[in-house]
Structure 1
Amino acid sequence: MTDHDQIEAVARAAVLAGGAELRARYRDGDAEAEYGAHDVKAAADVAAESRMLPVVREAFPDHAVFAEEAGEFPGDGPYRWIVDPLDGTNDFAAGLPTFASSVAVLREGSPLVAALHQPATDETYVARSGEGVRYGGDRVTAADARAAAGVGSDVAGATVAVIVGRDVPRDPALAAEVDAIRGALDDRVKRVLDSWAPTVHSGLLARGRLQGLVQFHPDEEEQAVTELLATEAGAAVRREGDLYVAAADEATLDELWEALDEADR
């Protein structure tokens, strides 16, 4: 059987390699990209992936890999790697520091390891099934989210991130549902964030800086990372179809879910 310690080490090495490329390009003001109405394809995506893929492929040549830019690499056995060289491309291209390189490893379809590195702020998260979440080497949880944010038990003081997949804005029906979700949350909580860097905001939830996170039709590149971070940080979670909610505790989750149930969607 493949050593899961080795998988975790390689995942971490891969995101650090991708992050080093992104950090250099970010500091140089690299804005080379193709800009569309709903998305951005940056040269930095391809460059970072070219640093990450060899780390994974050389260590585990028989594992299946999906890379956001290069596509699918078939493999044998139960493991599949998902490589996202630049989560938060829009933010990167705009000069904002909220972006990351991330990797998820699935075993028989279930998330086993997730790693992400935020090069602008030099922050690294590693999550492993059954082993919790480490931030900069220290174990973190979502349990102290309210204390960290300085809010009381009332969900009205919460900050919640909303994550949508790249195809949602292109579909009028799905876009209308998201508008209803945002409106319902905005009536209940202090602040609703539209996330253009899902793994970054997932990390904030995992270490108690956000009180809630809502995913709607998420992209595969971020979904496994986001959900493993939430679960291993001890967040309360609930799913209904393509709607997934994670919160600091069960009481917050219940209130967020109640708001979404009442949304006109």
Structure 2
Amino acid sequence: FGAGTELKIIPDTEVYVLVDGGRATNLLKTKKVITITGSKMPAYLIKTSQSRGFFDRLGTNLGWGIGGEGGEADQKNGYGETTFEEVALELARNAAMGAGDVLRELHRKEEIEIFENPKGGKVTEADYLSENIITSLIRNKFPDHDIISEETVWEDNNSKYRWVIDPLDGTGNFIHKNPNYSVSVALLEENDPLVGVIYIPEIDQLYSAVRGGNAMVNGNVIKTTNRGEIRESMLITGHDPKGELLSSLYPVVKGVRRYGSAAINLAYLACGSADVVWEWDTNPWDVAAGILIVKCAGGRVTKKNGEEYILDFKIDNVNELLASNGQLHSNILVEINKD
């Protein structure tokens, strides 16, 4: 149809209306007026390898579909029957999984483009594409919110809400075809995590939490372990250039693992696959979602000296992190701070 075209259809029976090949579907009752109008914007056909699931998530968050559903009478606080936190959580889930779909496809490519970032580290086309997907969805839903992402985005709208994103945590693993990489999306309220989501594409695990609620993985409640003996504990470590971990904790724990993704480390602590996580240095986008998920699962997060861990956006500062199942925390602090 051209831009000035308008077509009205009044069905005699119930009908299903399908938009975009069935991507959006609605059952309409008899005598319901269906209005079809032409668009000023032409349609484009795009060939892509992305799955239908990816476009379903993308379309949901961009508001693609059949217009007029709900209406003002059904709105409550601007979000229908749902709360702000529920809307933000659903957005974070869909954004992380949508980006994860793309990362999974790129991970299977024989070659990907690799660049040097300003700090001298490696960044890939996958990092940038994932970031673009997530930030575009957030801007569409919450245009006034602040957004900070690891790669290129640092948007300050003077909002009390700030999205903190690591579009690809574990870039080194990704480059070397190692499956231990993840997507981390967190929403902060006055610098305190409100919503946190971590998605691990290669095993299709979606970790999530809302402040004050349960930690979840794929819809199931998770808890940290109740292990209280250090000698029986499993520890996950990040980069430890000074050898503090090896010198103090390695001799007294059951085992040590390293996955190369701080977000995965915290997710595994939250679900009981480990008892302690040590990170010598962290950035907010590495851990913002994971900290909330660990706390909602019953864990504890501090600095090495036992002080409260605070997300620090002065990224030149070393910001160490010690997380545990909670029961082990005091004893771990003693061991790691021994002279």
Q: Structure 1 length as normaliser, TM-score?
A: 0.84
Query: CA offsets, 1:39-72, max 9 Å, x none?
Result: 4212210111122111111000010101222221
1:150 counterpart residue number: none
CA displacement at 1:208 relative to structure 2: 0.4
1:20 counterpart residue number: 101
1:248 aligns to 2:325 (yes or no):
yes
2:251 to 187, 190, 198: 187
2:279 to 189, 207, 215: 215
1:128 aligns to 2:204 (yes or no):
no
> CA distance change for structure 1 residues 243 and 28 in 2, over 3 Å: closer, same or farther?
closer
CA–CA separation in structure 2 for the residues paired with 1:258 and 1:193: 21
CA–CA separation in structure 2 for the residues paired with 1:83 and 1:140: 23
**Is the CA contact (8 Å cut-off) linking 2:103 and 2:201 kept in structure 1?**
yes
CA–CA separation in structure 1 for the residues paired with 2:256 and 2:114: 28
**Is the CA contact (8 Å cut-off) linking 1:163 and 1:194 kept in structure 2?**
yes
CA–CA separation in structure 2 for the residues paired with 1:238 and 1:72: 26
1:48 to 104, 108, 130: 130
> CA distance change for structure 1 residues 94 and 71 in 2, over 3 Å: closer, same or farther?
same
Task: Write the mapping of 1:1-265 to structure 2, written as runs, cut at 5 A.
Answer: 3-34=84-115, 39-144=121-226, 146=227, 153-164=228-239, 175-176=241-242, 179-239=243-303, 240=305, 242-250=319-327, 252-262=328-338
CA displacement at 1:76 relative to structure 2: 4.1
1:172 counterpart residue number: none
CA–CA separation in structure 2 for the residues paired with 1:67 and 1:244: 20
**Is the CA contact (8 Å cut-off) linking 1:231 and 1:237 kept in structure 2?**
yes
**Is the CA contact (8 Å cut-off) linking 1:100 and 1:197 kept in structure 2?**
yes
Query: CA offsets, 1:59-88, max 9 Å, x none?
Result: 000101012222211224310001211001
**Is the CA contact (8 Å cut-off) linking 1:39 and 1:90 kept in structure 2?**
no
Greater mean alpha carbon deviation, residues 216-225 or residues 237-246: 237-246
Q: Structure 2 length as normaliser, TM-score?
A: 0.67
**Is the CA contact (8 Å cut-off) linking 1:83 and 1:104 kept in structure 2?**
yes
CA displacement at 1:195 relative to structure 2: 4.2
Q: Which has the higher contact order (CA 8 A, sep 6+)?
A: 1
**Is the CA contact (8 Å cut-off) linking 1:66 and 1:83 kept in structure 2?**
yes
CA displacement at 1:38 relative to structure 2: 7.5
Flag structure 2 segments of 5+ consecutive residues without an equivalent: 1-76, 78-82, 308-318
**Is the CA contact (8 Å cut-off) linking 2:114 and 2:123 kept in structure 1?**
yes
CA displacement at 1:192 relative to structure 2: 2.3
**Is the CA contact (8 Å cut-off) linking 1:185 and 1:192 kept in structure 2?**
no
> CA distance change for structure 1 residues 76 and 35 in 2, over 3 Å: closer, same or farther?
closer
Structure with larger Rg: 2
**Aligned residue pairs, count:** 244
> After TM superposition, what 4+ stretches of structure 1 lie above 6 angstroms from structure 2?
35-38
**Is the CA contact (8 Å cut-off) linking 1:105 and 1:114 kept in structure 2?**
yes
Q: Which structure has more helix as a fraction of its residues?
A: 1
* Paired amino acid for 1:248: N
Secondary structure class of the residue paired with 2:203? coil
**Is the CA contact (8 Å cut-off) linking 2:146 and 2:162 kept in structure 1?**
yes
What RMSD, in angstroms, separates the aligned Cα atoms of the two structures? Answer: 2.2
> CA distance change for structure 1 residues 191 and 123 in 2, over 3 Å: closer, same or farther?
same
**Is the CA contact (8 Å cut-off) linking 2:148 and 2:163 kept in structure 1?**
yes
CA–CA separation in structure 1 for the residues paired with 2:121 and 2:260: 10
> CA distance change for structure 1 residues 228 and 256 in 2, over 3 Å: closer, same or farther?
same
Flag structure 1 segments of 5+ consecutive residues without an equivalent: 147-152, 170-174
CA displacement at 1:30 relative to structure 2: 4.0
